[in-house]
Amino acid sequence: MKEVSIPCGVDLTQLYRQEVGDYPKFFKMDVLSRLGFLLTERLVGSDENRFQPREDRAVLVFSREGCVANDRNYVATMKDFPSPSLFVYTLPNIVAGEIAIRNKYAGETSAFVLEKYDEKAIFELVRQAFQDPVTQSAVVIWADCPSDTEWDARGWLVNREEL
């Protein structure tokens, strides 16, 4: 099982430019989606076949706060004119979709909001995803960001035989 993280306080735009640089949609993403995107890049970025469509990889995203940081930003725009670009990211499952679209994954994509970081609970839900015989691997993300500048971000690439 491969594991990666992004320490709190890292400049996500700079990290994107250093490690990825080829996905302009990154600049429109909220902090939750940016974290999920960058964690996934670190997990699968070196896979030479990563952009081949596949149904055997699941994407499971976990968080405590969901997209609350972006929700607050969106509510602030409602005083004048609500921002459609922020509204797009007012659902915590958007990050799972962003990851699936970028990497052409057609397996399960799910987002879970948990009371707290609980690795046991996370991996129990991952095991449940593997009950589908088609699922052979999963990108698993814990990205909790109560604000645009505070987060706990970890990711795992899990293969069926590792569970």
The reported pTM is 0.88
pLDDT digit string (tens) for 71-122?
Answer: 555 556 567 766 665 445 545 678 899 999 999 999 999 999 999 999 999 9
In this prediction, residue 74 carries a pLDDT of 57
| Burial classification of residue 55, based on how many CB atoms lie within 10 Å of its CB (0-12 exposed, 13-18 middle, 19 or more buried) | middle
In this prediction, residue 66 carries a pLDDT of 65
The H-or-E segment that residue 127 falls in is: helix 119-129
In this prediction, residue 65 carries a pLDDT of 76
In this prediction, residue 4 carries a pLDDT of 98
Say whether pLDDT at 148 is over 70: yes
pLDDT digit string (tens) for 15-69?
Answer: 999 999 999 989 988 888 899 999 999 999 999 899 999 999 999 999 987 655 5
Edge-to-edge strands, sheet with 150-159? 2-6, 150-159, 137-147, 57-63, 109-113
Q: What is the chain's Cα-based Rg?
A: 15
Do 29 and 67 form a contact (C-beta atoms < 8 A)?
A: no
User: In a 3-state reduction of DSSP, which class is residue 25?
Assistant: helix
CA atoms within 13 A on the CB side of 110: 17
In this prediction, residue 75 carries a pLDDT of 56
Domains in the chain, ordered, with CATH?
2-162 (3.40.47.10)
Calpha distance 66→120 (Å, rounded): 19
